[in-house]
């Protein structure tokens, strides 16, 4: 039998359709799912539409961790809806305040060798414990909960070989920032990043999870570490040692690419505005004034990270020109820090304590001042994501964040003249799952509660033979889902109300887009490379569909957004010749005959300029069938009842 790497082993054990051949279509069985409240409401509306009485996964968990800012009835109403759905359909419900989905799932539910599909792009955090964890749109997660396989392209597997050991005040965040520096935000598309080498054994599970979490910023399908003695100890500390499964690559396993990183030579790194791959050493920005520091998020809110923060802050005060805040990853982390006295050290320093939620990472509070520099231990620094369009957001490690909080400027933490900090992983964490509610034993008695903000799902008609319309918008490379469908405290509460949230499509780029799209009766969007990178939010496809967007034509797509476009019946096309991108202008009238959608390339006519442009796609036979049916939901209804 051919030797396999870890990713191939898990895929092979879950393979339902296809073969382990890179870039070929496959389908895998999903063991676990997770949702969060910014994407979960729509996912469960879609699950309900399938007419099943119970989820068909081993485990499904609904987390409330994004929209906890309850400035009106909308978020609170949706949380009630989510809780009632979980009770009725066999889903665990993690209550608001229990913690961030990825941190809690790592602590309480993640299992080596299992597959996890989540309606959040940072679901690959689970790779830190040896899972094949993949982010997807809510509809794909709803299908998985209905027992349907997850369809994807067999990813290439990249070996990231770690040697040596990190120096004091250099952390796991610096490892993934270095990977981003080398590979860019496009470097992981269609790939799984698999970490190997003797450096792996120097990293705890939470440190590994920091790295796999930000694999999403590479555009990777997933990232994964071996399951070894470090994993066993972590599970033991969570009273779950019986779920341990040893999992390593075969000695002669092959990889599609190899990247070598010597941990001994790494130094503190930082990503400049407004992209996670604009990475330089902290020393290069030394002395830059800082107005705000935000610590936490699903990337850096583990006990290890917050213990480091507390140790560096002990007996010290936040600089008077800096506003600093912290979001812990879970109640478990807070309980442990309270027990060992470090929580008091954080509070005494002047750091503001926020909820155990995503919070500032998605623009839910703690926005920076105008024109301010904000250092954040988060995973994304896209323009406007913080809630302040004029702010400059930098991404860094907890160590670098604390250094800035103490000095008022970007500072290499090694220059603070502090003794090296040793963090010992506890043998036992406090286990309290009282805020994780079990589903009802009498589901037939549960009434689903829907607030007035929850509107019916918009439906798309089957695909006509010909598409015509105006180029509504032309954009450059690396357009993110934050550009297409912004997050933040104003917009996210509308996630279950598609007519309302559609008013904000492309707000960051062109606030007139929704009005123009409706007036034109829909049309086309033209994009550059890596269109749709970032979040898994399917609203970035669903809301444009509701506005009448018929096709998106780009140089290349990000994986999750491509799948979401297909799910909602928007045709994703790419230029055969990238230079043809220059032959289309915003406002041009286009015409596309789609009777032969299963045959490519085919011709796109620019009626305004009277030219023919060859375009193509990577759609599978199943993808074409879904688009022709008007999207995946109508297509799926037939499948789940077979």
Per the CB < 8 A criterion, the answer to whether 5 and 158 are in contact is no
Q: Supply the pLDDT for residue 255.
A: 97
Measured distance CA(250)–CA(164) in Å, rounded: 22
Q: Supply the pLDDT for residue 599.
A: 79
List alpha helices for 97-191, DSSP H.
101-108, 138-145, 172-183
The 10 Å CB-count burial string (b at 16+, else e) for 443-479 is eeebeeebbebbeebeebeebeeebbbbbbbbbebbb
Question: Which domains, ranges and CATH numbers included, belong to the chain?
Answer: 6-265 (3.30.499.10), 269-416 (3.30.499.10), 466-488+495-640 (3.20.19.10)
Measured distance CA(331)–CA(211) in Å, rounded: 22
Nearest of 139, 175, 344 to residue 259 by alpha carbon: 175
**Which helix (H) or strand (E) element contains residue 481?**
helix 481-484
Structure tokens at 102: 């990825």
- Does the pTM surpass 0.95? The reply is no
List alpha helices for 33-72, DSSP H.
37-49
Q: Supply the pLDDT for residue 578.
A: 96
**Which helix (H) or strand (E) element contains residue 474?**
strand 466-474
Measured distance CA(508)–CA(485) in Å, rounded: 9
Measured distance CA(558)–CA(530) in Å, rounded: 5
Q: Supply the pLDDT for residue 641.
A: 52
Region for 330 from its dihedrals, namely left if φ exceeds 0, alpha if ψ lies in -120 to 50, beta otherwise: beta
* Placement of tokens 């909308």 in the chain: 74
Query: Residue 268: which residues within 8 A CB-CB, separation 6 or more?
Result: 169, 170, 174, 281, 282, 283, 396, 397, 399, 400, 412, 413, 414
Per the CB < 8 A criterion, the answer to whether 312 and 418 are in contact is yes
Per the CB < 8 A criterion, the answer to whether 406 and 282 are in contact is no
Measured distance CA(411)–CA(416) in Å, rounded: 8
Q: Supply the pLDDT for residue 365.
A: 86
Identify any residues that bridge with 563 across adjacent strands, giving them in sequence order: none
Q: Supply the pLDDT for residue 639.
A: 59
Mean pLDDT by runs of 10 across the 642 residues of the chain is 95 97 95 94 90 96 89 87 97 97 98 97 97 94 95 97 97 98 95 98 97 96 98 97 98 96 98 96 98 97 97 97 97 96 97 93 90 96 90 97 98 95 88 97 94 83 90 96 88 87 94 96 96 89 95 94 93 96 97 84 93 93 88 70 52
Give the orientation angle of helix 205-213 with respect to helix 229-237, to 10 degrees.
100
- Quick check: helix, strand or coil at residue 550? strand
């Amino acid at each position: 039998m051919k030797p396999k790497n870890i990713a191939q082993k898990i895929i092979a054990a879950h393979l339902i359709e296809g073969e382990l051949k890179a870039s070929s279509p496959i389908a895998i069985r999903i063991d676990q799912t997770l949702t969060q409240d910014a994407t979960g409401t729509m996912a469960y509306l879609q699950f309900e539409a399938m007419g099943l009485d119970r989820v068909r996964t081993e485990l499904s968990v609904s987390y409330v961790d994004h929209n906890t800012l309850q400035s009106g009835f909308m978020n609170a109403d949706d949380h009630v809806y989510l809780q009632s759905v979980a009770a009725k359909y066999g889903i665990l419900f993690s209550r608001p305040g229990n913690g961030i989905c990825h941190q809690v799932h790592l602590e309480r539910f993640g299992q080596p060798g299992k597959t996890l599909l989540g309606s959040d792009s940072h679901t690959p955090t689970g790779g830190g414990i040896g899972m094949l964890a993949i982010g997807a749109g809510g509809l794909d997660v709803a299908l998985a909960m209905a027992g349907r396989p997850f369809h994807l392209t067999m990813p290439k597997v990249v070996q990231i070989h770690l040697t040596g050991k990190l120096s004091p005040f250099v952390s796991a965040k610096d490892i993934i920032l270095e990977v981003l520096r080398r590979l860019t935000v496009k470097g992981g598309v269609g790939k799984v990043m698999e970490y190997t080498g003797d450096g792996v054994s120097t990293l705890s599970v939470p440190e590994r999870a920091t790295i796999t979490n930000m694999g999403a910023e590479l555009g990777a399908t997933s990232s994964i570490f071996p399951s070894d003695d470090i994993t066993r100890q972590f599970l033991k500390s969570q009273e779950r040692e019986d779920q341990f499964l040893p999992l390593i690559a075969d000695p002669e396993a092959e990889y599609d690419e190899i990247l070598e990183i010597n941990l001994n030579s790494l130094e503190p790194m930082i990503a400049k505005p407004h992209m996670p791959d604009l990475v330089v050493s902290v020393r290069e920005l030394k002395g830059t004034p800082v107005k705000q520091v935000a610590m936490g998020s699903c990337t850096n809110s583990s006990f290890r990270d917050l213990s480091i923060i507390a140790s560096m802050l002990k007996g010290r005060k936040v600089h008077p020109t800096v506003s600093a805040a912290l979001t812990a990853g879970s109640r478990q982390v807070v309980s442990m820090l309270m027990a060992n006295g470090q929580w008091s050290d954080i509070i005494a320093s002047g750091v503001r304590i926020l909820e155990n939620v995503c919070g500032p990472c998605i623009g839910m509070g703690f926005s920076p001042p105008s024109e301010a520099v904000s250092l954040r231990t988060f995973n994304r620094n896209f323009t406007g994501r913080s809630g302040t369009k004029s702010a400059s957001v930098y991404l860094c490690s907890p160590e670098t964040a604390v250094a800035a909080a103490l000095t008022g400027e970007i500072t290499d933490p090694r220059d603070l003249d502090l003794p090296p900090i040793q963090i010992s992983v506890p043998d036992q964490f406090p286990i309290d799952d009282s805020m994780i509610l079990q589903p009802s034993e009498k589901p037939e008695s549960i009434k689903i509660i829907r607030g007035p903000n929850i509107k019916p799902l918009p439906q798309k008609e089957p695909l006509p033979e010909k598409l015509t319309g105006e180029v509504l918008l032309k954009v450059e490379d690396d357009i993110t889902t934050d550009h297409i469908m912004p997050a933040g405290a104003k917009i996210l509460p509308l996630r279950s109300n598609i007519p309302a949230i559609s008013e904000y499509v492309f707000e960051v780029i062109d606030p007139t887009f929704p009005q123009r799209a409706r007036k034109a009766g829909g049309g086309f969007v033209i994009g550059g490379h890596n269109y749709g990178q970032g979040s898994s939010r399917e609203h970035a496809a669903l809301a444009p569909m509701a506005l009448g967007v018929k096709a998106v034509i780009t140089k290349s797509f990000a994986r999750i957004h491509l799948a979401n476009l297909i799910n909602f019946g928007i045709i994703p096309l790419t230029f055969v010749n990238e230079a043809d991108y220059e032959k289309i202008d915003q406002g041009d009238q286009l015409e596309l005959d789609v009777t032969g959608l299963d045959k490519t390339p085919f011709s796109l006519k620019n009626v305004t300029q009277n030219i023919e442009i060859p375009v193509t796609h990577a759609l599978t036979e199943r993808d074409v069938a879904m688009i022709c049916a008007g999207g995946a939901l109508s297509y799926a209804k037939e499948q789940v009842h077979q």
